[in-house]
Amino acid sequence: TEPAEFVFASGLHALWPPALRELYDLSIFLDIDDGLRRYLKVRRDTAARGHSPEQVLASLDRRTEDRKRFIEPQAVDADLVFRLEPLNAALCEDYARKDDPSLRLVVRARPGIGFGRLARTLAAVANVLATERHDAAGNTDLCIEGELTREDIGATARLMAPEVGEFLQRSPQWRAGMAGAMQLVVLTQIDRLRVSRWGNR
């Protein structure tokens, strides 16, 4: 790997080896509601790979134990856990649906990471429900519900990280919806680390 200011590691087992975990400045785990995960996997594999829903579900069932043993425990070691949930779980039982169900994003952060400013900015710019909660252990949850456009994400990013252009090599390609919300959370956390390391320069 060529040296660079930012290096990203991605994979199913990126948080499994302790030696690798120690190298990260920011670690993220993606957790998806089980019904939503099955729904998205069936949708993708039937459309893109020609599998039947029964084949896809059987494959998921065969891997359940491995997921519980090797994948899910990695969430404990993440700084941020992104959890995607359907607002209406019953919609995920209809694999023939043409449109995806509306989603909620819940971001759990370790103690010391807060989302207050992001929640307020998102609510003001995009008119969505964005709330911050704290538990007794000091963890923080950010819950986001509502329709987010690419423009909403871009406008919020410019307010949250005005120097964004200085540390992104190309124009950001903002996504709509909860994918865009995840982009925002990652961006603000990278900016937080940048400021703590190098200051506001």
- Number of residues assigned to the chain: 201
* Average pLDDT score over residue span 74-82: 95
| Both tokens assigned to 94 | 């209809």
The pLDDT tens digits of the residues spanning 124-179 come to 999 999 999 999 999 999 999 999 999 999 999 989 988 766 666 667 889 999 99
Angle between helices 116-126 and 177-198 (to 10 degrees): 140
The pLDDT tens digits of the residues spanning 6-52 come to 788 899 999 999 998 999 999 999 999 999 999 988 888 887 788 88
Burial pattern 118-144, b for ≥16 Cβ within 10 A else e, equals bbebbbebbebebebeeeeeeebbbbb
> How high does pLDDT run on average in the chain?
89
> 107 - beta bridge partners?
82, 142
| pTM exceeding 0.95 | no
pLDDT at residue 185 in the model: 95
The pLDDT tens digits of the residues spanning 141-152 come to 999 999 999 999
Q: Worst-scoring range by mean pLDDT, 136-145, 154-163, 181-190, 191-200?
A: 191-200
Distances (CA, A) of 183 to 8, 74, 115, 154, 190: 14, 21, 14, 10, 11
* Average pLDDT score over residue span 49-73: 89
pLDDT at residue 200 in the model: 62
Token pair 């893109």 is found at 48
